[in-house]
């Protein structure tokens, strides 16, 4: 194996070995996002069906557990992109609809909430 390929392989294996549950700061952000969704009064659409924020939170927590088991997330942004933005079975984007407003993609809704969570964090 060439040295650069060997080094790249080692780096990838090392990064996967360190993955697992989200680090505590990222987990706190994900929990804050999902609690905000649950309490928002907004509806969550997946695969053409609307669900309550509480149902959405339950679903997204299952997806988070799956991603953690696969060592596929280490940041809040990765959770949003890989688990909370679209259906893993159909590829259709998830939507959030609040108080009669037009639905927006969940990725956009969650990113806005993440910015608010981070802005409110102690400096």
Residue 39's nearest CA partner among 63, 56, 59 is 56
Instruction: Give per-residue pLDDT as tens, 27-55.
Output: 999 999 999 999 999 999 999 999 999 99
Q: What residue ranges in the chain does DSSP mark as E strands? A: 43-46, 49-52, 95-97, 104-105
For residues 30 and 20, the model is more confident at 30
Q: Mean per-residue pLDDT for 105-119?
A: 97
Q: Mean per-residue pLDDT for 90-108?
A: 96
Residues 6+ apart with CB under 8 A from 4: none
């Amino acid at each position: 194996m060439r040295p650069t390929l060997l080094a790249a392989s080692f780096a990838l294996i090392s990064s996967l070995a360190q993955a697992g549950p989200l680090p505590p700061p990222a987990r706190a952000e994900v929990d804050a996002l999902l609690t905000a969704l649950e309490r928002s009064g907004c509806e969550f659409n997946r695969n053409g069906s609307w669900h309550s924020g509480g149902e959405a939170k339950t679903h997204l927590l299952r997806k988070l557990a799956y991603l953690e088991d696969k060592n596929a997330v280490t940041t809040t942004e990765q959770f949003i992109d890989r688990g909370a933005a679209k259906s893993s079975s159909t590829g259709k984007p998830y939507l959030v609809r609040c108080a009669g407003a037009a639905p927006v993609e969940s990725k956009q809704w969650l990113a806005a909430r993440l910015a608010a969570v981070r802005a409110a964090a102690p400096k």
